[in-house]
Amino acid sequence: MAAAAFPPLLASAGEQSEVYIPGEAGMIVRSAGFFDLEMPPEFFDSWITPTPHFFVRNHMHEPTTLDRETWRLSVSGEVEKPLHLNLADLEKFQTRTVTNTLECAGNGRGLYQPHVPGVQWQKGAVGTARFSGPRLRDILQRAGLTVSGKHVMFQGLDEVPGKVPPFLRSIPIEKAMDGDTLVATHMNGSALEKHHGFPARALVPGWIGAASCKWLSEIKVLDKEFDGNFMKPGYRMPNHPLKPGEPLNVDDSHVITSLNVKSVIASPTDGSILDSRTFKVRGAAWAGEAEIVKVEISSDGGTSWQAARLHRDEAKYAWRLWSHQVKVPEAGEYTIRARAVDSQGRAQPQEPEWNPSGYLYNAIDQVTIHVRA
């Protein structure tokens, strides 16, 4: 069956703030051209993000038509037996399910100072879902991976406008052969929705979302790292700290892979007016391939910190929800802060690591509230 390609119905003149996108109600619309939909803070309340609340990040136009009957996945390059697989072929591989927090590398870009160009994400270009499908390792082994294979490149069916370089990236063979790296066909127990890569996408757990190519059509094993635009100069961080506003020296930088440590406050939201001096602060914390070991909350602007309670649900690559009861002494304005520490000893910094593309924002999160009780 073909996945429908219904575009959103935008509002008429005079109602320009309304955008109609079936199945995506409540999402923050950063772009309805190439879809860029952000999860608002109130949707951080679930360990598994319902698919309609899962952020959407598209660099190009979504494929106009996708048909599960005619879709094919080619596997080529440094392999002995190139493959052309259909969905029925994929279903014959053993299925693995990985619960993964997927985050756009540019999540939080809108919070950088000075401002940088790109989608101005705030907190919600992130979500956690159960992804299922065959292991990439099993597919590569079926194709007869050779010892010369060092990187695995993914290509999707997204439609490239103008002279924009195609969205091609590669991951090292070690990550490709990890038993948790998938060719995912399902998300939260259902076939992938079109916005999330139907009929198959790469799932590179713990890594930036850009590694997990959607609408996957080609897997190519290379003898070296791919060096196209979205590997270099795109998606790179400086090897040494830059001053805010300083340009990136591409030759002194590295490709971004794993996510860093981060926590966000979901509630109360910034600017809230509360009627009680006792209230609960809630949020989520994640750390890519590492585990969250501690989240601390401050209600006095960072002078003192108390440990938040980490909720029970956990999985290797998934965020931990957390909460903390706060009691403030009197009515007034308060700054609530949250900071996380992971199993690699990384802690959220006071200031983000500035870079001119606004990647990997993870400064200590804060909201300002007013208590009037």
Partner 1 sequence: MYEPNGCFLRAVFVTVLSVGLLPLLRAQSPQLPPGAIEPKVSAACTECHESRIISQQRLTKAAWGKEVDKMIKWGAVVDSGDRDAFVEYLSTNFPSDKAPEVMPRALAAKKH
Shorter beta-carbon distance to partner 1: residue 38 or 296: 38
Q: Under the rule (CB under 8 A), what is the footprint of partner 1?
A: 1-2, 4-13, 16-34, 36-38, 40, 64-65, 67, 69-70, 110, 114-117, 119-120, 161-165
| Helical ranges in 23-82 per DSSP H | none
Shorter beta-carbon distance to partner 1: residue 206 or 358: 358
* Diameter over CA atoms, the chain: 71
At its nearest, how many Å lie between partner 1 and the CB of residue 113? 9
The CA–CA distances, whole Å, from 149 to 82, 207, 348 equal 13, 21, 36
Shorter beta-carbon distance to partner 1: residue 210 or 315: 210
At its nearest, how many Å lie between partner 1 and the CB of residue 39? 11
Q: Cβ atoms within 10 A of the Cβ of 25, count?
A: 9
Shorter beta-carbon distance to partner 1: residue 1 or 88: 1
At its nearest, how many Å lie between partner 1 and the CB of residue 313? 27
**Residue with token string 């208590």:** 371
Q: For residue 348, what are its two tokens?
A: 């959220």
Q: For residue 252, what are its two tokens?
A: 């002194």
| CB 360, CB 105: distance < 8 Å | yes
| CB 133, CB 183: distance < 8 Å | yes
| CB 181, CB 205: distance < 8 Å | yes
Q: Considering only CA atoms, which of 105, 122, 201 is closest in space to residue 158?
A: 201
Helix (H) or strand (E) holding 174: helix 173-176
At its nearest, how many Å lie between partner 1 and the CB of residue 328? 28
At its nearest, how many Å lie between partner 1 and the CB of residue 16? 4
At its nearest, how many Å lie between partner 1 and the CB of residue 52? 9
At its nearest, how many Å lie between partner 1 and the CB of residue 233? 11
Residue 90: what residue type? Answer: L
Return d(Cα 56, Cα 31) in angstroms, integer: 10
Respond yes or no on whether the N-terminal peptide bond of residue 114 is cis (omega within 30° of 0): yes
At its nearest, how many Å lie between partner 1 and the CB of residue 121? 10
Shorter beta-carbon distance to partner 1: residue 12 or 190: 12
**DSSP helix/strand/coil, 175:** helix
| CB 359, CB 209: distance < 8 Å | no
Shorter beta-carbon distance to partner 1: residue 238 or 358: 358
At its nearest, how many Å lie between partner 1 and the CB of residue 169? 17
Shorter beta-carbon distance to partner 1: residue 38 or 103: 38
Shorter beta-carbon distance to partner 1: residue 40 or 144: 40
Shorter beta-carbon distance to partner 1: residue 176 or 266: 266
Contacts from 345-353 at CB under 8 Å and sequence distance 24+? 346/260, 346/261, 346/287, 346/290, 347/261, 348/261, 348/262, 348/263, 352/108, 352/111, 352/112, 353/237, 353/238, 353/241
DSSP code string of 139-174: HHHHTTB-TT--EEEEEE-PBPPTTPPP--EEEEHH
